[in-house]
Amino acid sequence: MSELSELYQQVILDHNKKPRNFHKLENANRSAEGYNPLCGDQLKVYLHVEDDQVKEVSFEGSGCAISKASASMMTQAVKGKTKTEAETLFSEFHRMATGELDEEAEPNHLGKLTIFSGVRDFPARVKCATLSWHTMHAALNNEVKASTE
Amino acid sequence: MAVVEELIPIKPKPSEAWNVERIRKDFPVLSQTVNGKPLIYLDNAASSQVPTMVIERGAQYLQHEHSNIHRGVHYLSMKATTAYEGAREKVKRFINAREAKECIFVRGATEGINLVMHGYGRKFIGAGDEIIISAMEHHANIVPWQMLCEEKGAKLRVIPMNDAGELLIDEYEALLNDKTKLVAVGHVSNALGTVNPIKDMIESAHKYGVPVLIDGAQMAPHGLIDVQDLDADFYAFSGHKMFAPTGSGVLYGKARLLESMNPFQGGGDMIKSVTFEKTTYADLPNKMEAGTPAIASQIGLGAAIDYLNIIGREKAAGYERELLRYATERLTAIEGVRIIGTAHEKLSVLSFTIENVHPHDIGTILDQQGIAVRAGHHCAQPVMQHFKIPATARASFAFYNTKQEVDVLAEAIEKVIEVFS
């Protein structure tokens, strides 16, 4: 299965099995629902934003391994970031997943999120990886719904 | 290849056994590799592959016969018309219609169903009337009726199914009443593979004088269809699921019904005369075929029917039955695999889920092994809701698939389970 290592890396499989921050956030002051009409993946992202900083973040929902692992790692990446920093990460992640950003050539803040760079070779799966990021972005901007379409 | 529009005899040579390796040579697409592995094409319920005979017939038309049909007095137009109407004659024999004019060429089963919705439904179904569909319909046989119900104030009634994916026929009988104006049901479920007892269902509906539309998209490639024996009022199917190009398809309707209906679309070729005061419509089938159709594709459908007759439809169906039995046995034996759709009567389709693995991940991993399956809701979201699952992975077979391919599929599924364990 070596040809799959690009996409289904151990870290991704691990986050899929044991998603982090996978619960409702009781003290959330922002949230949004994300929906991928193509495959039916659905998730909800909760944020607790205070003084322009993402104090806490969590998610709920169902989806494939890529979307679940991406959501899990998104919550870890965004926690503690300022709104601007979170938006920068959203933009960089989105550009990496769609092949616009070469994470090795262009300076970025993605860190271990670069393990999702492999999705760019699987056009049908790009939206699985970006769904939680779109949803976080929507919640941050006080939009109720996000869609990959 | 010579241009032959005469009908090819339906009976194949009976003595020969099914030679799948020889059959596979008829389908050029099957010989390629995908991701470095031999292509294993198990997405036939979505769209089937096209044999050389059909490709060549289409090319022959485009190279030597192309023109618009039913119009010109010139050589090419007559040539094109002969080929196009020849294909209709083949369709007539394929489903045993009484007359060729009962076979309306459409873009596919979806357009066929929409034709009945517009032409029959909007004319004859009104407020308080009821339309019966089933719990396992494809969206193509749900959404048009919902649109009609919304427009007219009619009511949609749904025949429920059990957890094997079989319709509850007693419940169906109980739904039929004097308000029922149409029954629209699939012959074979694309998501579950269930073969519905449509002959009995049609008979029950007829006791109330209710016409029945059959969505035959999944039956046409795999079995014999006799619309007279079934006494079906409408029967729709797609060419691209039965080894013909996309854009081809058929809506069969009893002449009496088609004649009573409104035209589907207005335009050229469907009229007798037009003035600004009044238009009179053409006779069947032209009344239902406005505009220039997909001539090459429909001629291709005729060639696909020839091909099926040459290889033997019953023999192909028998081989497919054995293949489905074998695949079901192989996949059932894998721990963690759940078969969705375990009806007694099934055809060609094997839907499944794997514990703790999302179908889209299954689809991607199988694709890396060169195996094409469908992952998703199969345009049958109510079916997914019934089984409380978001989606399934679906392997769907044709007579060119092999037991070896099923073995590779089973091994790949075992690898998926290993990766996610």
> Which value does ipTM take for this structure?
0.89
In chain A, which residue's Cα lies nearest the Cα of B37?
A: A3
Question: Cα dihedral sign for B357, B363, B365, B369?
Answer: positive
- Residue A12's identity, in one-letter code, is I
CA B195 centroid distance within chain: 13
Give the chain B residue nearest A10 (alpha carbons). B419
Report chain B residues whose CB lies below 8 A from the CB of A65: 357-358, 361, 420
Angular region, B193: left φ>0, alpha ψ -120 to 50, beta rest = left
pLDDT of residue B247: 98
pLDDT score at A143: 85
The residue among B356, B361, B362, B419 with the most chain A CBs within 10 A of its CB, best to mutate, is B361
Chain A: residue whose CA lies nearest to B35:
A3
Distances B23 to B302, B311, B402 between C-alpha atoms, Å: 19, 8, 11
Q: Which residue of B has its CA nearest to A127?
A: B360
**Shortest alpha-carbon distance between residue B377 and chain A (Å):** 8
**Residues A44, A31: Cα–Cα separation, whole Å:** 7
How much is the pTM? 0.93
Residues of chain B with CATH 3.40.640.10: 61-309
Which pLDDT tens digit goes with each residue over A57-103? 999 998 999 999 999 999 999 999 999 999 999 999 999 999 999 99
Inform me whether the C-beta atom of residue A13 falls under 8 Å from chain B C-beta atoms: yes
Give the whole-angstrom CA distance, residue A84 versus residue B273.
68
Which amino acid does the sequence have at B198?
Answer: I
CB proximity A128 to B under 8 Å: yes
CA distance B376 to chain A (A): 6
What is the distance of C-alpha B261 from the center of its chain? 23
Which residues 32-51 of chain A have a CB within 8 Å of chain B?
A: 39-41
- Closest chain A CA to residue B365: A4
Helices (H), chain A: 10-17, 65-78, 83-97, 126-140
Question: Can you tell me whether residue A140 is helix, strand or coil?
Answer: helix
Taking one residue from A and the other from B, the number of pairs with CB-CB distance under 8 angstroms is: 47
pLDDT in tens, A39-69: 778 899 999 999 999 999 999 998 999 999 9
Give the CA distances from residue A136 to residues A17, A140, B10, B330, in Å, rounded to whole numbers and listed in that order: 21, 6, 61, 43
What is the Cα–Cα distance from A90 to A84, expressed in whole angstroms? 10
Contact A13 B419 (CB under 8 A): yes
Kindly state whether A131 is in contact with chain B, defined as any CB-CB distance less than 8 angstroms: no
- Angle, CA B213 vertex, CA B208 and CA B217 arms, to 5°: 155
Nearest to A65 among B361, B375, B391 (CB): B361
Distances (CA, A) of A89 to A96, B69, B71, B151, B340: 10, 59, 62, 47, 40
Q: Tokens 């089933």 appear where?
A: B134
**Positions in chain B short of pLDDT 50:** 1-4
Extract the tokens encoding B401: 């698939």
Question: What pLDDT, on a 0 to 100 scale, did the predictor assign at position B4?
Answer: 46
Cα-Cα end-to-end distance for chain B: 54
Concerning whether B379 is annotated as a catalytic residue, the answer is: yes
What was the pLDDT predicted at B326? Answer: 98
Range(s) of chain B covered by CATH 3.90.1150.10: 20-42+313-420
Q: Are strands B371-372 and B40-41 parallel, antiparallel or unpaired?
A: parallel
List the CATH code of the domain at A2-144.
3.90.1010.10
Interval B189-203: pLDDT, tens = 999 999 999 999 999
Neighbours of B72 (CB within 10 A): 14
CB contact under 8 A, B361 and A64: yes
Question: Can you give the pLDDT at residue A149?
Answer: 63
Burial of A122 (0-12, 13-18, 19+ CB in 10 A): middle
**Mean pLDDT score across all residues of chain A:** 92
- Distance between CA A117 and CA A103 in Å, rounded? 8
Residue A148 has pLDDT above 50, yes or no: yes
- Residue of B364, B381, B419 with shortest CB distance to A125: B364
Please, which residues have CB within 8 angstroms of residue A123's CB and are 6 or more apart in sequence?
none
Which residues in chain A have Cβ-Cβ distances shorter than 8 Å to B390? 40-41, 62
Q: Report the distance separating Cα B92 and Cα B101, nearest Å.
A: 8
pLDDT of residue A41: 82
CATH tag, B61-309: 3.40.640.10
Q: Determine the pLDDT at residue B332.
A: 98
| Contact criterion met (CB below 8 Å) for B380 and B50 | no
Look up the CATH number of domain B20-42+313-420.
Answer: 3.90.1150.10
Q: Which of B36, B368, B377 sits opposite A40 (nearest CB)?
A: B377
What was the pLDDT predicted at A1?
44
CA distance A120 to chain B (A): 13
Helix axes A65-78, B359-368, angle to 10 degrees: 110
Q: Would you state the pLDDT for residue A36? A: 85
What's residue A144's pLDDT? 78
B266-304 pLDDT per residue, tens: 999 899 999 999 999 999 999 999 999 999 999 999 999
Residue A131 and residue A68: Cα distance in Å, rounded? Answer: 9
Domain parsing of chain A, residue ranges: 2-144
Of B303, B302, B297, B291, which is closest to residue B69 (Cα–Cα)?
B291
Characterise A21 by phi-psi region: left (phi > 0), alpha (psi -120 to 50), beta (else).
Answer: left
